[in-house]
């Protein structure tokens, strides 16, 4: 359960051993870390539709190692999150009585999916092998069938009842063979014609049909992927990097900046360790609904981090009085023999997403539009061409000299920054190996709701504590409402690849994923 895998010249971690194996094979053929990441994600788009897919969005951080002339490496950030269609009409939703975006079964919560545009951008900049070759393992699994994973089966039973969800009728028990011929066709089209083979091909035609005015052909013709400047904070003697808005990556970095100035106990088993980190997460995120939108700036000002840190009481839970307004995902990481690292996260948002299926290929569509606001004039208001606030939070760590230390991330909706806060503290503050750091019990801030409503009422959040954690009684004594929860996927699927000073790689896939794997070469 606590296994750390080691490898000398490349490693892949993901939630599915079939996907990790596809990525490792790409590294063996001389592909880059970006090539391998695309191959892994493509397999996951077939085998893990309850987490991600071609109908979802993508974010990635890429570490470019120094050139032959030396110097520091460079961190690049790719935002491949889709935009609402030209027909987006917030007034229409409000007129129907909606106060927030519909969670399921409504095309208006489906921005144009950005995943394939993300693959195209990664491949254009860093690819070494032909795109069709990278997608070939995924095409084969979609065409010939793959074993249903234990985590997919419960959602597949529901998805199979929806229009267009017929691919999942075969997924009655773990190990049942599931094929997805429409997804195979879509992947082949991407391999032949790139992003236009997808957005302007069979999938795009079906999306226009299903959208019934929500999108135009021009919406689908416009690439959704942008290279942007990453965010960074210094914590525990390292630089930690994540995505800028519209991602909530700033919450991870702010919480780390706050935690770096707190007196954390020497052992993560001490209740104060969980208390201080949970409070760092709460003071970072309580106003997220007000401040996070695609154009947000200066969220990590040092004086603001210091101000929020000063709110924390080591001996009691804070009462938050700042105003607040009334998923699923998969993460993967790769490091190649040249030192390039890719931290990639790709998502449907909530389980199978919107529970809508593009009618020609059967690709399930995300519901990332639930991040939009329906409050008139809000900076994140639903509207044409806009990107919604996103929970996706990939992370990358560099050493003070600029060398790559770690690539890591997790699924988990609103809880992603909270999960990564704990894993990073274990790695950097306590010197744990990736295996124990990933497998250790966790806490998260919960409401018992959708997993995307943590900050609706910040003072009503409960600290969900995973089975086996040592903090339950201590947190309750410090004033936290505590709920005991079983060890499992509700606390994320975190994966880590750590780069040792001599170049040896140490990695771990989260045991909560059941079929995940860290594979080295």
Evaluate the omega torsion of the peptide bond into residue 246 and state whether it is cis, within 30 degrees of 0: yes
Question: What is the C-alpha separation between 256 and 236, in angstroms, rounded?
Answer: 8
Cα–Cα distance list, 171 to 179, 265, 447, 452 (Å): 10, 46, 30, 27
Question: What is the C-alpha separation between 158 and 48, in angstroms, rounded?
Answer: 15
Show contacts of 174-177: CB within 8 Å, 24+ apart.
Answer: 174/147, 174/148, 174/149, 174/150, 175/147, 175/148, 176/147, 176/148, 177/145, 177/146, 177/147, 177/148
Question: What is the C-alpha separation between 229 and 389, in angstroms, rounded?
Answer: 17
Question: What is the C-alpha separation between 518 and 51, in angstroms, rounded?
Answer: 18
Tokens of 147: 């074993």
CA distance from start to end of the chain: 21
Question: What is the C-alpha separation between 243 and 230, in angstroms, rounded?
Answer: 5
Helix (H, G, I), strand (E, B) or coil at 61: strand
Positive or negative torsion for Cα 236, 240, 245, 246: negative
Query: CB under 8 Å to 267, separation ≥6 — which residues?
Result: 273, 430
Tokens of 11: 């490693």
Considering only CA atoms, which of 181, 82, 80, 79 is closest in space to residue 138? Answer: 181
Looking from the CA of 114 toward its CB, the CA atoms found within 13 Å total: 33
Quote the distance between the C-alpha of residue 173 and its chain's center: 27
The DSSP secondary-structure symbol of 387 reads P
Question: What is the C-alpha separation between 111 and 370, in angstroms, rounded?
Answer: 10
Question: What is the C-alpha separation between 371 and 57, in angstroms, rounded?
Answer: 13
Helix (H, G, I), strand (E, B) or coil at 116: helix
Let me know if 329 is a catalytic residue.
yes
Q: Can you point out the beta strands (E) in 356-488? A: 356-357, 364-365, 395-398, 404-409, 443-446, 462-466, 482-485
Annotated catalytic residue within 4, 329, 393, 410: 329
Query: Which residues are marked as active site?
Result: 329
């Amino acid at each position: 359960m606590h296994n750390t895998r080691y490898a000398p010249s490349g490693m892949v971690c993901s939630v599915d051993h079939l996907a990790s194996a596809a990525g490792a094979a790409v590294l063996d053929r001389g592909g880059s870390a970006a090539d391998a990441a695309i191959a892994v994600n493509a397999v996951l788009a077939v085998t893990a539709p309850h987490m991600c897919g071609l109908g979802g969005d993508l974010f990635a951080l890429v570490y470019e190692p120094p050139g032959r002339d030396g110097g520091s490496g460079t961190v690049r950030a790719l935002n491949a999150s889709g935009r609402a269609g030209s027909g987006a009409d917030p007034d229409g939703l409000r007129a129907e009585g909606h106060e927030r975006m519909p969670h399921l079964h409504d095309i208006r919560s489906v921005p144009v999916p950005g995943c394939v545009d993300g693959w195209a951008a990664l491949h254009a900049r860093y690819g070494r092998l032909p795109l069709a070759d990278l997608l070939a393992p995924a095409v084969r699994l979609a065409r010939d069938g793959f074993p249903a994973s234990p985590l997919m089966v419960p959602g597949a039973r529901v998805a199979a009842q929806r229009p267009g969800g017929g691919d999942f009728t075969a997924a009655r028990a773990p190990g049942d063979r599931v094929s997805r011929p429409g997804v195979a066709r879509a992947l082949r089209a991407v391999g032949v014609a790139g992003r236009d083979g997808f957005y302007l091909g069979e999938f795009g035609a079906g999306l226009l049909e299903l959208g019934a005015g929500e999108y135009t052909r021009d919406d689908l013709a416009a690439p959704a992927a942008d290279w942007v400047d990453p965010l960074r904070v210094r914590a525990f003697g390292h630089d930690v990097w994540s995505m800028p808005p519209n991602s909530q990556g700033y919450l991870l970095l702010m919480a780390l900046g706050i935690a770096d100035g707190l007196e954390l106990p020497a052992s993560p088993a001490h209740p104060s360790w969980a208390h201080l980190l949970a409070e760092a997460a709460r003071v970072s995120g309580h106003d997220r609904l007000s401040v996070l939108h695609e154009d947000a700036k200066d969220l990590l000002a040092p004086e603001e981090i210091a101000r929020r840190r000063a709110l924390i009481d080591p001996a009691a839970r804070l009462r938050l009085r700042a105003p607040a307004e009334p998923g699923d995902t998969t993460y993967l990481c790769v490091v190649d023999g040249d030192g390039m690292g890719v931290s990639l996260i790709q998502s449907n948002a909530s389980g199978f997403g919107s529970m809508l299926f593009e009618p020609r290929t059967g690709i399930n569509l995300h519901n990332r539009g639930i991040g939009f606001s329906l409050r008139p004039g809000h900076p994140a208001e639903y509207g044409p061409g806009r990107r919604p606030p996103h929970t996706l939070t990939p992370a990358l760590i560099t050493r003070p000299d600029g060398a790559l230390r770690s690539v890591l991330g997790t699924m988990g909706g609103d809880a992603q920054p909270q999960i990564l806060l704990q894993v990073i503290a274990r790695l950097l503050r306590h010197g744990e190996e990736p295996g124990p750091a990933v497998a250790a019990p966790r806490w998260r801030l919960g409401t018992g709701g959708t997993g995307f409503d943590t900050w609706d009422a910040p003072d009503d959040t409960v600290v969900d504590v995973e089975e086996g954690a040592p903090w339950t009684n201590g947190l309750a004594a410090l004033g936290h409402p505590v709920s005991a929860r079983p060890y499992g996927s509700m606390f994320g699927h975190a994966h880590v690849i750590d780069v040792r000073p001599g170049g040896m790689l140490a990695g771990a896939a989260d045991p909560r994923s059941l079929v995940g794997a860290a594979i080295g070469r």
